[in-house]
Amino acid sequence: MRLTVIGTGYVGVVHAACMADIGHEVLGVDVDAERIAALTDGRPPFFEPGLPRMLRRTVEAGRLRFTTSAADAAGFADTHFICVGTPQRPGSGAAELGHVEAAVDGLAPHLRDSGYERVLVVGKSTVPVGTATRLAARLRATAPAADVAWNPEFLREGCAVQDTLRPERIVVGTRSAHAETRLRELYAPLLAGGTPFIGTDPATAELVKLASNAFLATKLSFINAMAEICDAAGADVLTLAEAMGQDSRIGRRFLTPGLGFGGSCLPKDIRALTARAEELGTGASLAFLRQIDEINTRQRGRTVELARELAGGTFSDRRVAVLGAAFKPGSDDVRDSPALAVADAIRRGGAQVRVHDPAATDNARVTHPALQYTLDVAKACEHADLVLHLTEWPQYRELDPVSLATVVRAPVMVDARHTLDPMAWRAAGWSLHAPGRPSTG
């Protein structure tokens, strides 16, 4: 089948490449000519395991092409996926829908003239409930033969290819039986692998995405709030999470305490859902999400305060090494990165902060130019009064605490992500502190 993907950000590029990989003919569309040129050369604009190879393979096979022209898109296929961003509106928690509206408005006049009898516009962007219905009316004013469906995307950065090829569910919200049939056909190779297909109305489909992310955020803030209680009571939050997670109704995943969540989705989505609930007059039902957000942000402040205490009550004239800049391991994304927020707060407190990250330093330099960066862990830790482990890249688990102890000024470590082996680090002479766990170092 033929389809276009409008918007070549994270979701768009991965969706386009994966759809081409399962055999469809795909045209990726974006207003950014530079990005389109790079993609045409098979170069993705971000780091994602497995994606560069898939992109090159599908481009070389001629199943994936790119353009900046909405007219080309309308002529190429009768099915169009909208994958543009919906960032947080400045000064408010609500989602900014300008890109979605521009994509639909740019396409609509060409759809009318495309020669296809029936066209389908499928939204993948995360939008406030009610958007699909509003967009359908807007689209039909220009292109009466257009159907609209909402098909939220649940991919995680770092596992995006696998999450797209083997999703845990495919959710499609539409009032058109024709649209649902077409999407079942399009996703047939994934459905054949056993993925459940949930057909519903557009509003429910829009909500599934935001509700899922709000639930995940709640789970994380719950365990981080428990870490605060554990600190006060001298209990161990990791054992607590382990024991709670054994209950299959709760589950161990998304229960790892630490610095809290960041990235481009969870923080923005809980705010957008809260804002939409308020607009709908049901703000009280989701008021607790504000607390989820506050608990999450508080973890960053708690880590800064622990660092200050360990640095002797002040950051002035202190050198602090930070391991990790990405919002999570396996990604070069620094959007709302808890690690960088902590690093920057410590720098503003007067310390000299040197940050190491295996993938995200180029992006971090752009958002946080006042921090220092290095690609060498030992260099980051040279003469440090304190080392903070803030993003749990697997390679940090393999660090040799004995040799690292020889380069720092004081062997003091905050393991905010709970992946370092406390016994090994303490045996090597480190004083190791992990929020939510008893400190014996």
Q: Which residue numbers are catalytic?
A: 265
Report if residue 262 touches ligand UDX, rule: CB under 6 A: yes
Choices 63-71, 226-234, 250-258, 432-440 (CB under 6 A): range interacting with ligand UDX = 250-258
Write the CB contacts of 364 (distance below 8 Å, at least 6 apart in sequence).
325, 334, 337, 340, 355, 357, 371, 373
Query: Binding of ligand UDX at residue 390 (CB under 6 A)?
Result: no
Count of CB atoms situated within 10 Å of the CB of 381 = 27
* Closest distance of CB 38 from ligand UDX, Å: 22
Taking residues 310 to 329 in sequence order and writing x for each that binds ligand UDX by CB under 6 A, - otherwise, the string is -----------------xx-
Residue 328 backbone dihedrals phi, psi, to 5 degrees: -160, 160
Q: What is the DSSP letter of 137?
A: H
Q: What mask, x for binding ligand UDX by CB under 6 A, covers residues 194 to 233?
A: -------------------x--x---x-------------
The CA distance from 408 to 229, in Å, is 32
Nearer to ligand UDX, 116 or 254 (CB): 254
**Interaction between residue 46 and ligand UDX (CB under 6 A):** no
In whole angstroms, the minimum distance from the beta carbon of 387 to ligand UDX comes to: 19
CB count in 10 Å sphere of residue 61: 11
Contact pick of 263, 411, 435, 436 for ligand UDX (by CB under 6 A): 263
156 touching ligand UDX, by CB under 6 A:
yes
* Residue closer to ligand UDX (CB basis): 60 or 242: 242
Contacting range for ligand UDX; rule: CB under 6 A; set: 38-46, 248-256, 354-362, 408-416: 248-256
Candidate ranges 20-28, 255-263, 270-278, 423-431; the one touching ligand UDX (CB under 6 A):
255-263
Check binding of 265 to ligand UDX (CB under 6 A).
yes
d(CA 276, CA 206): 12
Q: Write down the least CB distance from residue 153 to ligand UDX, Å.
A: 6
Q: DSSP assignment of 304-317, as one string?
A: HHHHHHHTTS--TT
CB of 194 to ligand UDX, least distance (A): 19
C-alpha 274 chain-centroid distance? 19
- Cα 405 to its chain centre, rounded Å, is 34
- Residue 169 within binding range of ligand UDX, rule CB under 6 A: no
How many positions of this chain bind ligand UDX (CB under 6 A)? Answer: 20
Q: Sheet with 319-323: list strands edge to edge.
A: 372-374, 352-356, 319-323, 386-389, 412-415, 431-433
* 13 interacts with ligand UDX by CB under 6 A: no
- Residue 199 vs 324, nearer CB to ligand UDX: 324
Residues 6 or more apart in contact with residue 406 via CB below 8 angstroms: none
Minimum CB distance to ligand UDX smaller for 152 or for 202: 152
Q: In 10 A of CB 176, how many CB atoms? A: 17
Cβ contacts of 224 within 8 Å, gap of 6 or more: 257, 258, 260, 295, 296, 298, 299, 436
- Among the listed ranges 56-64, 151-159, 302-310, 418-426, the one in contact with ligand UDX (CB under 6 A) is 151-159
Residues 266-285 that bind ligand UDX (CB under 6 A): 266
Return the range that interacts with ligand UDX (CB under 6 A); candidates 80-88, 130-138, 253-261, 365-373: 253-261
Note whether 12 binds ligand UDX by CB under 6 A.
no
Smallest distance, ligand UDX to C-beta of residue 289, A:
15
Nearest residue to 343 (alpha-carbon basis) of 302, 274, 390: 390
Closer by beta carbon to ligand UDX, 342 or else 404:
342
Single out the segment in contact with ligand UDX by CB under 6 A; choices: 69-77, 178-186, 252-260, 397-405. 252-260
d(CA 219, CA 292): 9
Which segments within 350-411 are labelled E, that is strand?
352-356, 372-374, 386-389
Residue 117 beta carbon to ligand UDX: minimum distance, rounded to whole angstroms: 34
Q: Provide the total of helices (H) and of strands (E) in the chain, helices listed first.
A: 19, 14
Q: Is the CB of residue 137 less than 8 Å from the CB of residue 106?
A: no
Residue numbers at the binding site for ligand UDX (CB under 6 A): 153-157, 213, 216, 220, 254-256, 258, 260-263, 265-266, 327-328
